[in-house]
Chain A
Amino acid sequence: MTSVSGGPPHPGPWQSATVTGVCQETPTAKTFTLMLPEPCSFWAGQHVVVRLTAPDGYRAQRSYSIASAPSNAAELDLTVEILQGGEVSGFLNEAVEVGDTLDVRGPIGGHFAWDLKPALGVGGGSGVVPLMSMLRHARKLGEPDLFRLVVSARRPEDLYYSTEIQGPGTSIVFTRAVPDGHARQPGRLTARDLTTTLDGDRDVYVCGSTAFCDAATQLAAAAGVPAERIRVERFGFSG
């Protein structure tokens, strides 16, 4: 049995990270690979803060979930959704290139950090990002069934990590349009989507918009998961 000791790591100091990769994830999201001066030890599900500084000293900072699996390397991936009018996400998506530097601090947020106990992730849209870190971690450990995933996306082109995310423990729910050959009809997440994936004794990690999180936690509760075993990370509008 895989296990971890102690709690999730606390944030270190601000670091100046170098952007070593930029990948268009979907039409409205990019994944940035950041190289840190010092390796950042984190648990899957934690996030980092990115801070932008203007010449007159004006600063804006936002939190972004880590998408890559924990490792000893100094590199980590952040996937950033462009939010309409988002000051930071808009800048990151439009202006940041390989070779740029960004101030980052982390890891932050322990309540949603995965402790490697058997779990089910339920993610809507960009809410899949911290769950992808968990899925990658489980696969890297050679125990892919430790983490199962139900992910909801509007259309095939909106699905993050569309190739890598597929696997025996992943179910994909498209709400508006499905790719050819997809057995499930388009439609919102249902109790059946959860119960077919939720076997036995698993904690449930829900991440997405507030509306998605409320719907998914109600479905999980109706499926018999006690409230104390459901952890929720809401992605509100934060620019």
Chain B
Amino acid sequence: MALTRGFTGRSRGTRDPRLPPGQYDAGANWPVLHAEPTPSIDTARWSFEIDGLVDEPVRWSWDEIHALPTSRYEGAIHCVTTWSKFGMRFDGVSVDTLLDAAGVRDDATFALARSHTGYTTNLRLEDLTDGKAWVVWDVNGAPLTDIHGGPARLLVPHLYFWKSAKWVSGLTLLAEDQQGFWEVRGYHDRGDPWLEQRYQGD
């Protein structure tokens, strides 16, 4: 497409190689974007469940999920609205640990993540396994606040952040891809920031 008359962009020559195309470094800001009123979910009624194509559906309470081996992610996150943040540290549990407990059936290929608010987002199972995804409750050493998806959210940091469902309540494993909230509204099914998979067809 055509050049934009007069546009050179800022920070020329010093672009951070950790930034995917079209992204900028939000620095100390952590912008907030979600489509529903911010819920406040008591940990006493929080739960997380894995169902669908598994050997045995499993449901964890807040205390039960905290009894599992913990796992940490340190690195970047990337939002489709073009901000990225570096040096984030999230603590929680690896999705691998949760899937192992439920037993993934051979015909499971996709997953639909859901939230306590009714939000959903679709993922390929391979984007949730082998140390690439977490259910997290602490960020940079402090509990996740409501606006950032607390008490716990999904974390899939190699994909755009709308895949990291806030207020996560479960994963359903599926044989076929089933689109979630943003995906039926024109956003990409996979959402790889390095390929700029922002919208359907990208």
Please list the residues of chain A having a beta carbon within 8 angstroms of any beta carbon in chain B.
Answer: 7-8, 10-11, 14, 16, 51-56, 58-63, 87, 91, 95, 100-103, 105, 108-112, 210, 214, 217-218, 221, 227-228, 230-234, 236-239
Indicate if the CB atoms of B2 and A237 lie closer than 8 Å. no
| B77-101 Cβ-contact flags toward A at 8 Å (1 or 0) | 0000111000000000000000000
With both beta carbons as reference points, the residue of chain B lying nearest to A216 in the complex is identified as B37
Indicate if the CB atoms of A100 and B5 lie closer than 8 Å. yes
Tell me whether A61 and B82 are in contact in the complex, defined as CB-CB below 8 angstroms, given that A54-B4, A100-B5, A103-B2 are known contacts. Answer: yes
**Residues in chain A near residue B4, CB distance under 8 A:** 52-54, 91, 100-103
List the 9 closest A-B pairs by CB distance, nearest first: A236-B31, A110-B185, A217-B37, A10-B186, A52-B4, A58-B9, A111-B35, A52-B7, A54-B9
Q: How far is the CB of B126 from chain A (nearest CB, A)?
A: 26
Tell me whether A236 and B32 are in contact in the complex, defined as CB-CB below 8 angstroms, given that A10-B186, A54-B7, A227-B37 are known contacts. Answer: yes
Indicate if the CB atoms of B22 and A61 lie closer than 8 Å. yes
B181 within 8 A of A: yes
B199 within 8 A of A: yes
With both beta carbons as reference points, the residue of chain A lying nearest to B26 in the complex is identified as A237
Restricting to B35-70, which residues have a CB under 8 Å from any CB of A? 35-39
Indicate if the CB atoms of A53 and B82 lie closer than 8 Å. no
Q: How far is the CB of B146 from chain A (nearest CB, A)?
A: 9
Complex Cα gap A55–B2 (Å): 9
Q: How far is the CB of A59 from chain B (nearest CB, A)?
A: 6
Complex Cα gap A103–B4 (Å): 8
Tell me whether A87 and B24 are in contact in the complex, defined as CB-CB below 8 angstroms, given that A62-B82, A234-B34, A238-B83 are known contacts. Answer: yes
Indicate if the CB atoms of A95 and B7 lie closer than 8 Å. yes
Indicate if the CB atoms of A210 and B32 lie closer than 8 Å. yes
Q: How far is the CB of A235 from chain B (nearest CB, A)?
A: 9
Q: How far is the CB of B183 from chain A (nearest CB, A)?
A: 11
Please list the residues of chain B having a beta carbon within 8 angstroms of any beta carbon in chain A.
Answer: 1-10, 12, 15, 21-22, 24, 26, 29, 31-39, 81-83, 118, 147, 181-182, 184-186, 199-200
With both beta carbons as reference points, the residue of chain A lying nearest to B36 in the complex is identified as A232
Q: How far is the CB of A99 from chain B (nearest CB, A)?
A: 9
**Residues in chain A near residue B83, CB distance under 8 A:** 237-238
Complex Cα gap A190–B29 (Å): 28
**Residues in chain B near residue A103, CB distance under 8 A:** 1-2, 4
What are 9 A-B residue pairs whose CB atoms fall within 8 Å in the complex?
A8-B185, A16-B1, A53-B1, A53-B4, A102-B4, A103-B1, A210-B32, A231-B36, A232-B35
- In-complex Cβ contact of B81 among A16, A53, A55, A238 (8 A): A238
Indicate if the CB atoms of A10 and B1 lie closer than 8 Å. no
Tell me whether A221 and B37 are in contact in the complex, defined as CB-CB below 8 angstroms, given that A16-B1, A16-B2, A53-B4 are known contacts. Answer: yes
**Residues in chain A near residue B5, CB distance under 8 A:** 95, 100-101
With both beta carbons as reference points, the residue of chain B lying nearest to A15 in the complex is identified as B1
Q: How far is the CB of B117 from chain A (nearest CB, A)?
A: 8
- In-complex Cβ contact of A53 among B2, B12, B37, B38 (8 A): B2
Indicate if the CB atoms of A54 and B8 lie closer than 8 Å. yes
Tell me whether A58 and B15 are in contact in the complex, defined as CB-CB below 8 angstroms, given that A95-B7, A232-B35 are known contacts. Answer: yes
Q: How far is the CB of A120 from chain B (nearest CB, A)?
A: 15
**Residues in chain B near residue A63, CB distance under 8 A:** 81
Indicate if the CB atoms of A59 and B22 lie closer than 8 Å. yes
**Residues in chain B near residue A16, CB distance under 8 A:** 1-2
Q: How far is the CB of B86 from chain A (nearest CB, A)?
A: 17
Tell me whether A10 and B200 are in contact in the complex, defined as CB-CB below 8 angstroms, given that A53-B4, A87-B9, A95-B6 are known contacts. Answer: yes
Taking A52-B4, A54-B8, A236-B32 as given, write out 5 further A-B residue pairs in contact, using a Cβ cutoff of 8 Å, ordered by the A residue number. Answer: A10-B185, A53-B7, A58-B12, A221-B37, A232-B34
With both beta carbons as reference points, the residue of chain A lying nearest to B10 in the complex is identified as A87
Indicate if the CB atoms of A112 and B35 lie closer than 8 Å. yes
Tell me whether A234 and B22 are in contact in the complex, defined as CB-CB below 8 angstroms, given that A54-B8, A110-B186 are known contacts. Answer: no
Indicate if the CB atoms of A51 and B35 lie closer than 8 Å. no
**Residues in chain A near residue B200, CB distance under 8 A:** 10-11
- In-complex Cβ contact of A60 among B2, B22, B29, B118 (8 A): B22
Complex Cα gap A112–B4 (Å): 29
